[in-house]
Structure 1
């Protein structure tokens, strides 16, 4: 109730809540990196399976919290038991990938069943390091879950564009599964760079990288086509600005990204532009 009162005091609305870090631990291969992002009560003694089980339980509690707040969408990550096998050598059998999707399904279907009971949806942010990181892997994730009605996507074009994935087509491919939208931009170079699409072992913002996140409207994402696609599929949810730009002052970036988003968004037409020429 305190959160609701605080929001009302400032005339704010809450449309979704995030559980990225907890969700990451549900399917990941757990190691010391996770200790740095998880609460102590989730990390516990660090036993990998114990961490995964506690993360799954916390993700269900997150849905219950969302329900109490009047929110019907939780955005987050799933982690992945097979991301580390991307571009792998020596090669491995295709069955290994299928086992990874089966493991994901066995862990997430019980979570999603609880979400469905609560009337809450889980929106996976399609993103490198997750079980779904492009169009094909997103489709495989849905298939692994037998198209569970509580599972969909947080659409973020910045994680698709630099990979070479058709990020507008993604909207049409999963028109009934776009539960939430991030307005986030990214720039990728027109010419070869010292560090390629994998990002290497250098920090974000380094000019030697092939790609870097940028303030909304300053990268290469075609938001005009995104808005038109979202309107076409009937998306009615929020346009949530996720701002990352290592080279820019965040206060300026927040202001201009909000202004850009408001300017580029528009309501869908209720009739064809030439309808007035008809005699009917």
Structure 2
């Protein structure tokens, strides 16, 4: 298992302090958020290697989400910055950009009366994103979309449909976030089994539904504090011979930044076997 941290959790301090914190945790990988208006500037991506760390991915969920915006000015500005993110990733030899693909329709939640809303959404998505995926392919990148309820692709069915919409483009990958999938009752294990090698990166984040069914509430949780079957997820990845970086994403409101990272990493390190796989001895 390759562990890392999404540095958004350390957005309250300098990048150097955040990287030092990750190095102190014995990590080798970090995922750096570089969207416009964020805590870290795109140019700072070059500093990661100074701390003996590797970039598992450049993260630009904000600008990529805006590419389907009906606000033409916002979409154009975000498109320009996302293109710069891809160029920087290529320059640094980082093969993955984690992102959102955006959403311009509520049709996946409210199909009536506009039953064609989803069809139009996927058509518009393809018209905007296929040229971007083409450029990513030229740069040797994979754009790893994170399924999320506020996105065009949010569960297994919609992710499969999105792949079809872009003709199964080779530059399309998935950033598997178990917590996000579980919101829509999608099983992360089944997602791995269906998507296979397209799962190129992970956000290690858990999900905890409320116990009161009438309330129908939930929260994101530190890995190991929710309902995700992490052992089954690890086994599914092993069965597919996949080794994505597990980038810890801490969005649990019940735990502070440092403590949440420490507890999450401690749990995840207990998921993977402590020794290399061996031949059968029984």
Band the TM-score falls in, shorter-chain normalisation: 0.7 to 0.9
> Is 1:120–2:130 an aligned residue pair?
no
> Equivalent residue of 1:92, what SS?
coil
> Where does 1:1-280 land on structure 2 (aligned, <5 Å)?
3=44, 6-28=47-69, 30=70, 48-82=71-105, 84-88=106-110, 90-93=112-115, 95-194=116-215, 196=216, 210-266=217-273, 269=277, 271=279, 273=280, 276=281
Task: Quote the RMSD (CA, aligned, Å).
Answer: 2.1
Unaligned runs of 5+ in 2: 1-42
Equivalent pair of 1:162/1:187 in contact (CA under 8 Å): no
Equivalent pair of 2:144/2:172 in contact (CA under 8 Å): yes
Equivalent pair of 2:153/2:159 in contact (CA under 8 Å): yes
> Equivalent residue of 1:216, what SS?
coil
Equivalent pair of 1:160/1:166 in contact (CA under 8 Å): yes
Structure richer in strand, relative to its length:
2
Q: Label 1:169 to 1:9 Cα distance change in 2 as closer, same or farther (>3 A).
A: same
Give the corresponding residue for 1:42.
none
Q: How many residues align?
A: 240
Runs of 4 or more above 4 Å deviation: 2-5
**TM-score normalised by the chain length of structure 2:** 0.79
Inter-partner Cα distance in structure 2 for 1:224 and 1:138: 24
Inter-partner Cα distance in structure 1 for 2:229 and 2:128: 36
Structure number with the bigger relative contact order (C-alpha 8 A, sep ≥ 6) is 2
Unaligned runs of 5+ in 1: 31-47, 197-209
